[in-house]
Structure 1
Amino acid sequence: METLIQDIRYAVRTLRKNPGFALVAVLALTLGIGANTAIFTVLNAVLLKPLPYPDSGRLVFLSERAPQLEGMSISYPNFLDWRQQNNVFEHIGVYRREAFTLSMHDQPEQIVGAMVWADLFSALKVKPALGQLFSAEEDRPGGEPVVLLSYGLWLRGFGADPGIVGLKLNLSGKPYTVIGVMDADYAFPSRAEFWIPVGLRYSDPGWQSRGNHPGLYGIARMRSGITIEQARAEMDTIATRLEQQYPDSNSGARVSVNTMLDTFVRDIRPVLLVLVGAVAFVLLIACANVANLLLSRAAVRRKEVAIRGALGASRLRLVRQLLTESVLLAFAGSVLGLALALVGVKAIVAVSPNDIPRSREIGLDWRVLGFTLGIAVLTGIVFGIVPALQASRSAMSETLKDGGRGSTGGLRQRLRRVLVVAEVALSLILLIGAGLMIRSFYRVDPGFDVSNLLSVEVKLPRAKYPDAPSRVAFYRQLVERVASLPGVQASGIATGLPLGNNGNQTSFRVVGQPEPAPGHVPLTEVVYVSSDYFKAMSIPLIEGRTFDDHDTKDAPPVMIIDDSFAKRYWPGEDAIGKQVKFDSDAPPTTVVGIAGRVRMEGLYNDSGRVQAYFPSTATNWDNMTVVAKTSANPTSLTGAIRQAVISIDSDQPIYNARTVEQIRDESVAPRRLNMLLFGVFAAAALLLAVVGIYGVMSYSVAQRTHEIGIRMALGANHKDVLKLVLGQGIVLALTGVAIGLVGALIVTRWMQSLLFSVSALDPITFAAISFIMIAAALLACFVPARRALKVDPLTALRYE
């Protein structure tokens, strides 16, 4: 221990004598360690920590699946059968997001919550902060309307009034009794501000249909000792039984059973793993950079090391002393890197709080501290071991005979060049990865014009608008009034907009074609729209007509399909006039128009399902999205649309007023965040590589001062000297680029799942990034090359 303390003291004194070297080394390590700690902090909270529920490893997520579709919502009758017939779950519940109008502070406000089965809370093992949870009597058709409030809504809307329990709230025109307030830490589903019993909706005809999937998803707690494989086998057995009982609605339907944690982090896991690889590259480049600096210092310190050896220090003792300096640098870099990581993580969460699952749990804990400590020790050894071994190998007798000038041997020069080549190669791989993501991000066409479009959501209370005619009349008036507003070029309504994954699909059969095989019934996306919707959204109508006032619920059913629908089911034929059946008991639906295909699920998600539009006048949906195409800034229209709604119904609020450009940005936010982070890390890697090349070339020029002086004395001109220095640098850069290209060809294949409309081997990206890397290397060589031009031959010869 005493020897270690001596080594630390000596290392501190040595580094204090060389503040410039110490500063550059610590800054490089701060970048590398900080980037790794930041990504690990996110990965730790999202992937490694258990969910914040007791014994969360037994929690599973339930959904339905069909041959063409994963992650379908659950049919309510199917759920009731699952609940009664399974023997593997201790508790099982379902939930569905729901929006209601709540009047607070004399203003109607749209709030988003969830309808849940009472057993969901038992599955999660959560308790309220005030009051009580739902009872089985309340969670049934005809039960008393009750509501649980979130802690945030209780604070924001009711001033944390402890007497809130028992108060009646008017939710969308219906009174609900507050029975409790959930704990401040409870947030499932995310951003929910209230919870009501799902059983209250079972009386709705749509919910009683086994073929309807009304946005319900399940959470269950497996019994003690039950594995997820056993749970899957049991649910498959139940699904097979239901398929035999109800072949029309359940043909091919199965149950997906996945751990709750895996379900919630499924989309972000590959992103985080790719980023882990990226920051590992940054750290390796930083280590190579600092190793280069240490090799340079080793040349200067050869005499010092030789003297210590001559005084009796063993080679092991010398290596340990030099490694102590390296680890000390790494610890300094880790302290600053931890601070940088905490700032970076806060920025990541602030920029994209809704796109990172479990973002509320991201923060410093013992795992993060342990990771930072471990990476500090590891990096100190990684970048310090080779310079330490090289320095301790010095021939002491030859060094002591030297006139006091540190010199570096051929091996040390080769090591430095190898390190620079490695930096260039690793940087190139990161830059190519970032370039692929950038090209992928900007290449996808949504299928419509997102500019100058405002969207506003409206949900009519069922108590006030109980039937389809009243809802259709309201929305018809609203579309007419919005269309007449100054600056509005076209307006329409829809049950869901593109890029938003409206989640509505239905099965169908093409009239006149063979029946599909069991379990292979095709699915189509379903959207109800008004006549001017296509004009407002700039979706091209390729053939046929749009909807008109005659397309009502009582008229023969009609539909508009996208061009992929026509090509898939009537190739080489005119699809206008063709018919499709959606229900065996209903009349066939006739195709009256063909529209262009749009990105329905998201800009980077394409299920390949065909798309079908139906007239909004033929549906009883209570919630619609209003879209308005404007000639000016669309956000300036929000107030006018609000007034148009109030002019029809003074108690009716609007919510989610936003431009369609914002919807597009939200749909790509996770990929944008990934692209930005990857770009930042690639830029850091490029900076470190440029610094590394600059350092090697500067040191090379300093070591070759005598040689350059002789060349100039013998007649070499500035051009010859420039070619000499730049040539050495460009050889290193080209070697690194060649190795990096091979590495990128291998590594980028793992990124294909993160790319869209761009190949992982895109030649344009590879060529452009290679050019940028070579140009940056030339720039790094230019300053040392100019310094070489200023060498005075007489001074150089006299120096030797």
Structure 2
Amino acid sequence: MSNLLRDIRYALRLMRQAPGFTLAAVLALSLGIGATTALFSVVYAVLLRPLPFPEADRLLVLGADTVRPQAQRFSFFQFDAIAEQSTQFSSLTAYGNQLFNLTGEGDAEQVRGAVVEGAFFETFGIASLLGRTLTPEEREAPQVVLSQSLWQRLGGRRELVGRTLTLGGQPYTVVGVMPSAFQVPDARTLLWVNHASLPGAASSPARTLRSFHGFIVNGRLAPGATLASARAELATIAARLAQEFPDTQSQLRLSAVGYRDQLVGNVRLLLLVLLGAVALVLMIAAVNVAHLQLARAAGRAREFGIRVALGASRGQLVRQLLTESIILCLLGAGGGVLLAMWGTDLLLALGASALPRGHEVTVDGRVLLFAVAVALVTGVGVGLIPALQRSRLTPQAMLGHNATEVSRGRTHGGLVVAEVALALVLVIGAGLMLKSFWRLHQVEPGVDSEGVFVARLVLSPDRYQEPARIVGFYTALRERLAMRPEVASSGLSLSLPPGGDQRRTSFTWEGAPESNAPPSTLYVITTPGFLETLRVPLREGRTLAEADKASTEPVLVVSEAFVRQFLPGQEAVGRRVTFRAVGGQPEWRTIVGVVGDVAYSGFEQGLEPTVYVPQAQDPHPGGFLVVRAARGLEASKLASVVRSELRALDAGVPLAQADTLEAMLEAGLGQPRFRTVLLGTFGLLALVLAAVGIYGVMSYAVAQRSREMGIRMALGARREDVLRLVVGQSLRRVGLGVGVGLVGAVAARHLLEGFLHGVGGLDASVFVGVPALLTAVALAASWLPAHRAASADPADVLRRG
């Protein structure tokens, strides 16, 4: 211990004597460790932090046997059959999202909740914070469990348990409050009610239509059951259901995946790719510090020679150098943690908060331990190269002038090759992401978003049970808005781009071949004026009109993608289509128009076949209201206009999620922007660090060979010859690094291909442009010290010796 303390004191004294070296090394390490720690805080929160459920590994999501972007939806008929026939689950539950109008607590407010069926809270296994949870035995009782956040918004008093809240016009008794860690289906869920307690639940489509697939199903494995045994049983149940109900079970794929796996989805690969990218940045920073350490060790050759000559062992020499390196890295970790705290906030602002469990991202004790561990590993790795090199030399070699320049040159050269190769892999990845994001940004959403105000409306089922009342309310609202001078047009739709609520349904068309697996399409319920407000272009026929009522011929409008995929080269207008998933009996609808494609599923998912059905012929109590502002008026100014007309019509209907369509479309680029900005930043940082490293190595090499160059120039070498000698040596190393890096980039492209849009993993412009850029940067970094060496006076160089 006394020897270690002596080494530490000596290392600190040397650092004080060389503040420039210390600052450069600590700054490089702080950048690398800080970026790595900040991203690890996201990885830990999303992928590694234990779920708040007991025995979370036994919690499954039913559906396919592989993770999909969205969990498969089931009908209550399927859920009941699975619950009745399954033996591999100790409990099962089905649940879905639902919007409620909360009234009687000040202004009407729209809150997001979940309707549940079966042993919901028992399946997840979390006890309530206050009161109790819902039970299957009281499934029809009007009871509600609140989230901790909603409970706090309503006053946060214990006395709230037992009180009554009015949800959708019906009184519900508050029986409990769940802790903040319980966020199912997601963090936006503020309350939970039993589905059977909803008004008219027994006669609702969810309970009367086998084709109503609107619920996620989770199960907890029974004691002794495994994922494999559960999958085998579910496959057997699926086969029985397909035989019993061939029309509605033809597309059922019944298996299961772990709840955590489904929760993180394809975010896992994205975060691991980003963590690998930032690890490359850390390695490049470490290589830079290794360059500095080698140069500093070369300057201390006489010191080491004297110490060895006086009896110091090679082990003591290695220990001293490793101690100095580890102290540098720990100082870098301190700066890195400060950068990570700031960087974590930046990551959340860039979109990390929208990731699954993103709200849990923080720099806590485990993240700090990770930073310290990274510092220690980096310290050993950085210090090991100069320590091993110096410890192998004899005192005579250490004391001899320029005795080991060839060995040091090879080591520096190898580090340059490694640095360039690492930087090239990272910058190529960043280049692919940047080009993909640019292509994604060029995707036309199919609508004119400028000047469009958007809000969400939901009608309370107690007052709007009859279809005529639903249609009448929205017709009256649009009429009132049409009389306002601030409004150019308005409409309502069940879906809105990008990635809003969507309904898909299977269908067939007149003259189509028989199929056990009919195709599906996006099914959008709209009012007249919706397509016109978004300025979706009409390609053929007409759009939906006020004359399309419940008493008239059922009609629909289809998108160009629908025609391309299902009716290529055929006349679409006048063809008839029937939807098996809309009603109990097939109902034929006539196509009256074809419109342009709209990216309802988001920019990355592409353009899906879409049909538009008049709201008067398929009434729905909720949807997105879109209002186009009059010329010269900002869309955000319409919030007060819409709110005043809504209050005049029905004060119990809240205006929720008010925003502009431009902002919604911009938010749809959130995750692509998150990964692109991060990879782009890491790539730029790698490029800068590589340039600094090459400049430092070449400056060191020129300094070590100054006498040789002075002799060359004294013997008649021209300035151009010296420049060619130094720059050529640098470019040979860079060229080798580029070659190694290209091999690595080609091998790593498969990790990025799933995140690219409109760009191939071997995009020629990126794979040619990035190496050219890196070579140009290396050329500039090596030219500066070469120019300085070629401009020196040979006499001065020789006098300095």
TM-score with structure 2 setting the length: 0.93
Provide the C-alpha distance between the structure 2 equivalents of 1:595 and 1:484, rounded to a whole number of angstroms.
27
In the other structure, the counterpart of 2:418 is 422
Pick which of 221-230 and 12-21 moved more: 12-21
In the other structure, the counterpart of 2:235 is 236
- The CA deviation at 1:375 is 2.3
Structure 2 portions without partners, runs of 5+: none
Which residue of the other structure, out of 433, 440, 448, is the alignment partner of 2:436?
A: 440
- On the 8 A contact 1:210/1:249 being kept in 2, the answer is no
Provide the C-alpha distance between the structure 2 equivalents of 1:753 and 1:17, rounded to a whole number of angstroms.
51
In the other structure, the counterpart of 2:776 is 775
- On the 8 A contact 1:706/1:797 being kept in 2, the answer is yes
In the other structure, the counterpart of 2:306 is 307
Provide the C-alpha distance between the structure 1 equivalents of 2:679 and 2:304, rounded to a whole number of angstroms.
42
In the other structure, the counterpart of 1:745 is 746
Instruction: Please tell me the residue identity of whatever aligns with 1:573.
Output: Q
SS in 2 for 1:71: coil
- On the 8 A contact 1:68/1:523 being kept in 2, the answer is no
In the other structure, the counterpart of 1:266 is 265
- On the 8 A contact 2:96/2:115 being kept in 1, the answer is yes
Superposed CA deviations along residues 32-78 of structure 1, whole A, max 9, x for unmatched, are: 22222222222222222321111111111224799999733110121
SS in 2 for 1:739: helix
- On the 8 A contact 2:502/2:524 being kept in 1, the answer is no
Residues 635, 774 of structure 1: alpha-carbon distance in 2 compared, 3 angstrom cutoff = farther
Provide the C-alpha distance between the structure 2 equivalents of 1:197 and 1:224, rounded to a whole number of angstroms.
27
In the other structure, the counterpart of 1:431 is 427
- The CA deviation at 1:264 is 0.3
In the other structure, the counterpart of 1:152 is 149
Instruction: Please tell me the residue identity of whatever aligns with 1:532.
Output: G
In the other structure, the counterpart of 1:34 is 34
In the other structure, the counterpart of 2:455 is 456
Superposed CA deviations along residues 189-224 of structure 1, whole A, max 9, x for unmatched, are: 322111111122432331123433353112221112
- The CA deviation at 1:729 is 3.7
In the other structure, the counterpart of 2:605 is 605
SS in 2 for 1:576: coil
Pick which of 211-220 and 418-427 moved more: 211-220
- On the 8 A contact 2:42/2:352 being kept in 1, the answer is no
SS in 1 for 2:165: strand
- On the 8 A contact 2:352/2:674 being kept in 1, the answer is no
Provide the C-alpha distance between the structure 2 equivalents of 1:585 and 1:66, rounded to a whole number of angstroms.
33
In the other structure, the counterpart of 1:624 is 623
Structure 2 counterparts to residues 296-695 of structure 1, below 5 A:
296-352=295-351, 354-364=353-363, 367-400=366-399, 402=401, 409-444=405-440, 445=443, 446-486=445-485, 488-516=487-515, 518=516, 520-583=517-580, 585-606=585-606, 609-630=608-629, 631=631, 632-695=633-696
- The CA deviation at 1:766 is 2.5
In the other structure, the counterpart of 1:294 is 293
Pick which of 721-730 and 593-602 moved more: 721-730
Pick which of 636-645 and 770-779 moved more: 770-779
SS in 1 for 2:138: coil
SS in 2 for 1:378: helix
Provide the C-alpha distance between the structure 1 equivalents of 2:36 and 2:128, rounded to a whole number of angstroms.
38
- The CA deviation at 1:585 is 2.8
Provide the C-alpha distance between the structure 2 equivalents of 1:721 and 1:567, rounded to a whole number of angstroms.
66
Residues 451, 764 of structure 1: alpha-carbon distance in 2 compared, 3 angstrom cutoff = farther
- On the 8 A contact 1:530/1:617 being kept in 2, the answer is yes
Pick which of 6-15 and 742-751 moved more: 6-15
In the other structure, the counterpart of 2:163 is 167
Provide the C-alpha distance between the structure 1 equivalents of 2:340 and 2:67, rounded to a whole number of angstroms.
44
Provide the C-alpha distance between the structure 2 equivalents of 1:354 and 1:625, rounded to a whole number of angstroms.
25
- On the 8 A contact 1:65/1:256 being kept in 2, the answer is yes
- The CA deviation at 1:144 is 2.9
Superposed CA deviations along residues 11-52 of structure 1, whole A, max 9, x for unmatched, are: 222223222112211221222222222222222222223211
Pick which of 712-721 and 349-358 moved more: 712-721
- On the 8 A contact 2:293/2:386 being kept in 1, the answer is yes
Residues 418, 401 of structure 1: alpha-carbon distance in 2 compared, 3 angstrom cutoff = closer
SS in 1 for 2:102: strand
Provide the C-alpha distance between the structure 2 equivalents of 1:569 and 1:18, rounded to a whole number of angstroms.
74
Provide the C-alpha distance between the structure 2 equivalents of 1:365 and 1:649, rounded to a whole number of angstroms.
48
Pick which of 567-576 and 370-379 moved more: 370-379
- The CA deviation at 1:369 is 4.2
Instruction: Please tell me the residue identity of whatever aligns with 2:568.
Output: P
SS in 1 for 2:16: helix
- On the 8 A contact 1:523/1:609 being kept in 2, the answer is no
- The CA deviation at 1:722 is 4.7
In the other structure, the counterpart of 2:797 is 796
- The CA deviation at 1:496 is 0.6
Provide the C-alpha distance between the structure 1 equivalents of 2:616 and 2:90, rounded to a whole number of angstroms.
45
Instruction: Please tell me the residue identity of whatever aligns with 1:422.
Output: A
Provide the C-alpha distance between the structure 1 equivalents of 2:258 and 2:639, rounded to a whole number of angstroms.
42
SS in 2 for 1:47: helix
- On the 8 A contact 1:164/1:178 being kept in 2, the answer is yes
Residues 170, 12 of structure 1: alpha-carbon distance in 2 compared, 3 angstrom cutoff = same
Provide the C-alpha distance between the structure 1 equivalents of 2:411 and 2:613, rounded to a whole number of angstroms.
69
SS in 2 for 1:52: coil
Structure 1 portions without partners, runs of 5+: none
- On the 8 A contact 2:145/2:193 being kept in 1, the answer is yes
Identity %: 39
- The CA deviation at 1:488 is 4.0
Cα RMSD of the aligned pairs, angstroms, is: 2.6
Pick which of 197-206 and 747-756 moved more: 197-206
Superposed CA deviations along residues 507-556 of structure 1, whole A, max 9, x for unmatched, are: 1122212211x3x2211111012233222223222222111122222222
- The CA deviation at 1:262 is 0.7
- On the 8 A contact 1:709/1:793 being kept in 2, the answer is yes
The answer to whether structure 1 residue 103 and structure 2 residue 103 are counterparts is: yes
In the other structure, the counterpart of 1:194 is 191
Provide the C-alpha distance between the structure 2 equivalents of 1:400 and 1:353, rounded to a whole number of angstroms.
55
SS in 2 for 1:599: coil
- The CA deviation at 1:263 is 0.7
SS in 1 for 2:743: helix
> How many matched pairs?
790
- On the 8 A contact 2:64/2:257 being kept in 1, the answer is no
Superposed CA deviations along residues 708-738 of structure 1, whole A, max 9, x for unmatched, are: 4445556666655555544444444344333
- On the 8 A contact 1:172/1:462 being kept in 2, the answer is yes
- On the 8 A contact 2:451/2:634 being kept in 1, the answer is yes
- The CA deviation at 1:370 is 4.2
SS in 1 for 2:93: strand
Provide the C-alpha distance between the structure 1 equivalents of 2:558 and 2:473, rounded to a whole number of angstroms.
26
- On the 8 A contact 1:68/1:522 being kept in 2, the answer is no
Provide the C-alpha distance between the structure 1 equivalents of 2:787 and 2:142, rounded to a whole number of angstroms.
81
SS in 1 for 2:450: coil
Instruction: Please tell me the residue identity of whatever aligns with 1:697.
Output: M
In the other structure, the counterpart of 1:181 is 177
Provide the C-alpha distance between the structure 2 equivalents of 1:443 and 1:481, rounded to a whole number of angstroms.
41
Residues 354, 400 of structure 1: alpha-carbon distance in 2 compared, 3 angstrom cutoff = closer
SS in 1 for 2:523: strand
Pick which of 172-181 and 298-307 moved more: 172-181
- On the 8 A contact 1:434/1:682 being kept in 2, the answer is yes
Provide the C-alpha distance between the structure 2 equivalents of 1:257 and 1:227, rounded to a whole number of angstroms.
11
- The CA deviation at 1:481 is 3.5
- The CA deviation at 1:104 is 5.9
Instruction: Please tell me the residue identity of whatever aligns with 2:439.
Output: R
- The CA deviation at 1:274 is 0.4
Provide the C-alpha distance between the structure 1 equivalents of 2:220 and 2:111, rounded to a whole number of angstroms.
29
Superposed CA deviations along residues 350-378 of structure 1, whole A, max 9, x for unmatched, are: 44354221224333556434433332232
Residues 193, 792 of structure 1: alpha-carbon distance in 2 compared, 3 angstrom cutoff = same
- On the 8 A contact 1:483/1:628 being kept in 2, the answer is no
- On the 8 A contact 1:751/1:760 being kept in 2, the answer is yes
Provide the C-alpha distance between the structure 1 equivalents of 2:449 and 2:707, rounded to a whole number of angstroms.
65
